[in-house]
């Protein structure tokens, strides 16, 4: 683990940094760099909807050609599926040797979509939170932990650059974990697919559908399978599984263990091992990139399928009952 005391901002203090993209991570990391007194530019496509937003935040916008020429460090924060094209169009033959590329996800490097020249420093600084949290915690004089890694170390200062950059976005206030591009990529994809996104959303929908198909009111199913999830997740976030189980009833805790031992562990572990294998062998990456080449045909079919699911229709009505949606009710 590394912390503020291990990071020397001098390694990037006089460098010109350009953040490629101004989305969730892009805006947060750029603003944190700016507030840390690092000269920071934003690179966006000429038709980007984020140009005005970035200008209002005080950034100068560079065209890709100018960004590559001017910058000492490029931070690649555009979507995974767009990074390969950007790299080979603008960076591969135009970026000066000894300069640095920073990624916040190792997808394109690990899966060989980008095979960088060996004359660049290639590093990873991956905050473990969405961009708005990276920004809000920084403003609160706090931060979110981050993973750091070095893939290529041309000038022998790559780790120091990663540490300095992580400090400037606030992550070293909490802690930095040294890893590899491979491990960050594979664990990140696995977590998203098996637990955080795919796992949770599938569990919610399956539970909701099971109750509704058994004749229970959709509103009851929504409360039990989705609404109350936040209460449990908050307890887990604050104190782990042990504290969550301490806070719930004996009935709920007994049901937790019984269901896990008799059903979930026997089924989920087998499925999760298949998910992990599919990530490790590159099959998921191939399917994702193939769908991108088809204008995300499958992704858009999935979006259309689930956006009108009964759980969304019921949830929209129920959420209007709560105080955080009061303005929506009166409007």
Catalytic annotation, residues: 105
Residue 230 labelled as part of a binding site: no
The answer for residues whose C-beta is within 8 angstroms of residue 159's C-beta and 6 or more apart is: 123, 148, 150, 153
Q: Name, in order, each residue with C-beta under 8 angstroms of 289's C-beta and a sequence gap of 6 or more.
A: 81, 113
Q: Tell me phi and psi for residue 105, to 5 degrees.
A: -150, 135
192 is in an annotated binding site: yes
Residue 50 among known ligand-binding residues: yes
Reading the block at residue 10, the tokens are 């001098």
Strands 146-152 and 176-178: parallel
Does 23 count as an annotated binding residue? yes
Place of tokens 């109350």: 228
How many beta carbons lie within 10 A of that of residue 273, not counting itself? 11
How far is CA 229 from its chain centroid? Answer: 21
293 labeled binding residue: no
Is 193 flagged in the annotation as binding?
A: no
DSSP secondary structure, 178-243, as one string: E--HHHHHHHHHHIIIIIITHHHHHHHHHHHHHHHHTT--HHHHHIIIIITHHHHHHHHHHHHHHH
Q: What angle do CA 313, 252, 209 make, to 5 degrees?
A: 25
Distance CA 166, CA 154 (A): 19
Residue 309: Cβ within 10 Å count: 13
Alpha carbon distance 1, 96 (integer Å):
32
- DSSP reduced 3-state for 100: strand
Task: Judge whether 22 is annotated as a binding position.
Answer: yes
Give the strand order in the sheet containing 17-20: 61-62, 40-43, 17-20, 73-76, 100-103, 121-127, 146-152, 176-178
224 annotated as belonging to a binding site for a ligand: yes
Residue 45 annotated as binding?
Answer: yes
Contact 204, 226 (CB under 8 A): yes
Residues annotated within the binding site for substrate are 249
Residues annotated within the binding site are 22-25, 45, 48, 50, 131, 188, 192, 224, 228, 249
Residues annotated within the binding site for NADP(+) are 22-25, 45, 48, 50, 131
Residues annotated within the binding site for Mg(2+) are 188, 192, 224, 228
């Amino acid at each position: 683990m590394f912390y503020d005391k291990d990071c020397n901002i001098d390694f990037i203090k006089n460098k010109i940094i350009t953040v490629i993209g101004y989305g969730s991570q892009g805006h947060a990391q750029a603003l944190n760099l700016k507030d840390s007194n690092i000269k920071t530019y934003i690179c966006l496509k000429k038709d980007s909807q984020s140009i005005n937003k970035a200008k209002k935040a005080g950034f100068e916008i560079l065209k890709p050609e100018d960004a590559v020429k001017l910058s000492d460090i490029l931070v690649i924060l555009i979507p995974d599926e767009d990074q390969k094209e950007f790299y080979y169009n603008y960076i591969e033959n135009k970026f000066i040797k000894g300069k640095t590329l920073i990624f916040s996800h190792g997808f394109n490097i690990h899966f060989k979509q980008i095979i960088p020249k060996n004359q660049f420093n290639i590093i990873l600084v991956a905050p473990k939170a969405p961009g708005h949290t990276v920004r809000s915690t920084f403003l609160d004089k706090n931060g979110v932990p981050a993973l750091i890694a070095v893939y290529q170390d041309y000038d022998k200062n790559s780790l120091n650059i990663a540490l300095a950059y992580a400090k400037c976005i606030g992550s070293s206030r909490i802690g930095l974990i040294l890893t590899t591009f491979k491990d960050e990529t594979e664990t990140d994809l696995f977590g998203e697919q098996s637990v955080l996104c795919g796992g949770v959303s599938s569990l919610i929908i399956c539970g909701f559908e099971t109750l509704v198909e058994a004749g229970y009111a959709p509103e009851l199913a929504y409360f039990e399978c989705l609404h109350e999830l936040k209460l449990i997740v908050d307890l887990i976030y604050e104190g782990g599984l042990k504290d969550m189980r301490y806070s719930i009833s004996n009935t709920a805790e007994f049901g937790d263990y019984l269901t896990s031992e008799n059903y979930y562990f026997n089924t989920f572990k087998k499925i999760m091992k298949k998910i992990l294998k599919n990530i490790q062998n590159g099959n998921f990456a191939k399917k994702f990139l193939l769908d991108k080449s088809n204008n995300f045909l499958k992704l858009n079919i999935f979006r259309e399928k689930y956006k009108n699911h009964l759980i969304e229709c019921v949830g929209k009505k129920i959420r209007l009952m709560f105080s955080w949606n009061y303005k929506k009710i009166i409007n």
